[in-house]
Structure 1
Amino acid sequence: MNKEQVIAYINDNNIQKIKFAFADIDGVLRGKVISKQKFLDGLQGGYGFCDVVFGWDISDAPYDNVAVTGWHSGYPDKQCYIDLSTFRMIPWEDNILFFLADYTRPDRKALDACPRSLLRKIVAECDELGYHAEFAQEFEWFNFLETPQTLQDKGFANMQPLSPGMFGYSIIRPSQNSGFYNDLFNLLTQFNIPIEGLHTETGPGVYEAAITHAETLEAADRAVLFKTAVKEIAARHGITATFMAKWNENLPGCSGHIHQSLWTKDLSQNLFYDAADIHKMSELHKQYLAGQLYCLPHLLPMYAPTINSYKRLVEGAWAPTTITWAIDNRTTALRVINTSEKYTRLETRIPGSDTNPYLAIAAALASGLYGIKNKLTLDVSPTQGNGYADKANGSLHTNLYDAAVAMQQSSVAKNLFGEGFVQHFTQTRLWEHRQYAKSVSDWELKRYFESV
């Protein structure tokens, strides 16, 4: 909808309040409900929002080392701008009107810390090169018969999963929780997050959903909204959903794989497909893939942004550990799917479900375009068999600290995203490492409390 259509809709339907939100550096939606008049007044000049949302961590503790805001600046308001193209009604909240916002000004200048603004910049670069990019992210997540209060009371121990046992692709489990299962599929679709598939994964109470692909920014919007929407729908059924990459050392982790392809502007041709090639891959596809392989060590925190991310990226856990690619191989970092021209695409398998979709998708697209711009040669052979054993092209960093330091020092990362973003983002990741380093874990208590 354009501005006039949105205003007409609000007036015709007597809407008196509007909810809007934007994603912080961790991909957490921050927002508020505003009155009709406040909404209308801000359509031109934006809405003042305290910039502490980019100056604190996922637990609202202020960072001590970021330039964008802090005690040194007094945490002033910065203007965010609602994107009217994100118009949605929230079907599980009496059809409340909802919009996404970001910190890109009308003159195209943006706040370095804003993830959606960063992705908009990369999408614009893709458009200037003459390509239309299609993306989709899929998510795995665990569901528990718990509430925020019971989790606190239990100290996040002895949690009751939605269903017991390991039962991937089960037909029985969804029918046993059909109200929740059907609400997920139906309400997400009504919220303009169309779902291609929804099923149980292996693990107690774990689901996986594939979101229908779309233009890049819309795909990222859907992915960001998906996680919050799932949590809100789950809560209505007395369920808590978690998108942690790895919540239990004895169970599989949760992925957030990214699917992508480049097309002509009119969507008439998949530019990743070449019927004459042995792998059905065009030269453009190979350059794009080579770019991702080359940039992976420089951008890993954008795919694996938390301490917990690296608990998933271990051998034999259905997540990659090496800088590898292959045709339809789920042990490599990059998986080429080439079943037909329509469905030929690249799957980036590093991200877990804990990613900020704007940043993970920005990393994938920017690094792929880097390969195209620099005409990189795909000189890494496709892995045959076990990707964990193929270390010829190197391995991924095994912890957030090493990955963040590598990105902070990377000229490649700064070239792709600008020094302002790289410095802000990596400082927040190093902060995250420091918070973890000073904590005392259950593992330490069990191992040392009595014995030492």
Structure 2
Amino acid sequence: MTREEIIKAVKEHDSEQVKFAVADMDGILRGKSISKDKFIKSLDDNIGFCNVVFGWDANDAVYDNSKVTGWHTGYPDSLATIDLSTFRKIPWNNNIPFFLGDFQNDEELSEVCPRSLLKRISAKCKELGFQPKFSNEYEWFNFRETPQSLKEKDHQNPTPLTPGMFGYSILRSSLESEYFNDLFDQLRAFEVPLEGLHTETGDGVYEAAIEYTDVLEAADRSILFKTGVKEIAYRHDIIASFMAKWNINLPGCSGHIHQSLWDKNGEMNLFYDASGDLHLSKLLEQYIAGQLYCLPHILPMYAPTVNSYKRFVAGSWASTTVSWGIENRTTALRAIPAGKTSTRLETRVPGADINPYLAMAAALASGLYGIKNNLSLDISPTKGNEYTQSGNKALPKTLKEATDAMKSSDVPKELFGEAFTDHFIKTREWEWDQYSKQVTNWELQRYFEII
């Protein structure tokens, strides 16, 4: 749709409000409803949005270590830009017009804004003559709870939507068919089209794959998928959780990234080579080499929370080492030789708790690093079970360890710029500090009486 067509559609809509949102550092959509008149005015003047959205954590606690924003800045409004290309209507909310935004026109915040970062890296990719096509797939758990009931339980022992291990079960997906069908149909109506939706192994867990598209649109769809699922779930008195690992006895939740590079016209998949070994191109080998090299230096971009690292355990379907393989789901990277149009790389490190803009920016930037530096793929592909093999470097085991590694490396600054890297590292240090101060139930049960 053209700018004029979008404005006309908004003006003619029955609702007097327009919703728009921006993504914060944790991949949470922060937004508001505005009037039609304010929306139209903002298209020329941008719109004020308190810069605290990059100065607080997932629970609205303000950072005490940020240079970009903080009490020292007084938390002024910054200039947010509404991206007309993201126009959608919310089908489960009276088809209210909805837009995503970012801070591309704000000199300071544009450096740290996750969506703006991905736009910059995508632009660099296209300058090299490549069209990046991406998609996410997500696993998440569903619970027969409401926000109020979950609070009353102190977030302990939530009731799963369905019991038992029913991976790929047609039977279990029919048990909550109204919710299941709403997810597939209403997300598509929200222009977040799914390739597939099915049950996974675990109590009340689903998995969805989002359709492939340009990397920025893929990240937009990804973040809208997570919020959309949660909002649709609310309407069925269900809580949907994208926590990476909510239960020690159940598998974690992934947020795998599928990706390929195409020619500048988007007509030829450059990861496919008819004459190459397994039809994998030299370009793909360099891209894999770049991701493997950069992975230990940028892991918090894929694993941003304290809980993320609880997922990295052997036998959990999650990676534990810097490794790759052909159609191997025990490695960090899975190369998929699937023909001219579908040959791709799956980055299996991310959990469902990612900020998709940052995770896709990390995958694309590190892959391009391998291409630009002509890196050789020196790590041999894993054959068989990577969990039982030795030789490949282990991933950091905590957010602190991963953040310290990122802080001591020059690679992140080269990939993402100094301003973003400094701010992001500070947010992860804050996250670890908040965790370190807590007294957990495990500590009380273990030490309270006996020690």
Relative to the length of structure 2, the TM-score reads 0.98
Q: CA deviation at 1:167?
A: 0.7
The answer for the alignment partner of 2:290 in structure 1 is: 291
Measure, in 2, the Cα distance between the counterparts of 1:450 and 1:187. Answer: 52
Give the letter for the 1:138 counterpart.
Answer: E
Residue 33 of structure 2 is aligned to residue 38 of structure 1: no
Task: Please tell me the residue identity of whatever aligns with 1:38.
Answer: K
The 3-state SS of whatever aligns with 1:259 is strand
One-letter amino acid of the counterpart of residue 242, structure 2: F
Q: Report how far residue 205 of structure 1 moved.
A: 0.2
What residue in structure 2 maps to residue 385 of structure 1? 384
Separation (CA, whole Å) in 2 of partners of 1:147 and 1:103: 33
Matches within 5 A, 1:49-448: 49-105=49-105, 111-448=110-447
Percent sequence identity over aligned pairs: 61
| One-letter identity of the residue aligned with 2:345 | L
Matching residue of 2:48: 48
C-alpha deviations, 1:415-449, integer Å up to 9, x for none? 11011101100110011001111101111111111
Separation in structure 2 between the aligned mates of residue 94 and residue 381 of structure 1, nearest angstrom: 53
Q: Letter of the aligned partner of 1:130 in structure 2?
A: G
Which region of structure 1 is more displaced relative to structure 2, 217-226 or 269-278?
269-278
Other structure's SS at 2:277 match = coil
Segment drifting more, 406-415 vs 383-392: 383-392
Letter in 2 for 1:57: D
The one-letter code of the counterpart of 1:95 is N
The alignment of Structure 1 onto Structure 2 pairs a total of residues equal to 451
Query: Residues 321-361 of structure 1, C-alpha deviation per residue, up to 9 Å, x if partnerless?
Result: 00000000000000000021111000000000000000000
Q: Which amino acid aligns with 1:324?
A: S
Root mean square deviation of aligned Cα:
1.1
2: CA distance between counterparts of 1:166 and 1:407?
Answer: 37
* Residue type of the alignment partner of 2:37: Q
Whether the 8 Å CA contact 2:11–2:36 is kept in 1: the answer is no
CA deviation digits over 1:210-262, x for unaligned, max 9? 00011000000000000000000000001000000000001000000000000
> Which amino acid is 2:7 matched to?
I
CA offset at residue 310 of structure 1? 0.1
Shift of 1:110: 5.4
Q: For 2:282, give the aligned amino acid.
A: E
Q: How far 1:91 sits from its partner (Å)?
A: 0.2
Q: TM-score, normalised by structure 1?
A: 0.98
How far off its partner does 1:155 sit?
Answer: 1.2
Structure 2: 5+ residue runs without aligned partners? none
Instruction: Give unpaired runs (5+ residues) of structure 1.
Output: none
SS at match of 1:130: coil
Q: Determine if contact 1:336/1:347 at 8 Å carries over to the other structure.
A: yes
Identify the range of structure 1 (230-239 vs 39-48) with the bigger mean alpha-carbon deviation. Answer: 39-48
1:93-144 CA distance string (max 9 Å, x none): 00000000000018x8852221000000000000100000100000000000
| Cα separation, 2, equivalents of 1:131 and 1:220 | 18
Regions of 4+ moved over 4 Å = none
**Would you say the 8 A contact 1:83–1:100 is kept in 2?**
yes
- Give the Cα separation in 1 of the matches to 2:393 and 2:248: 25
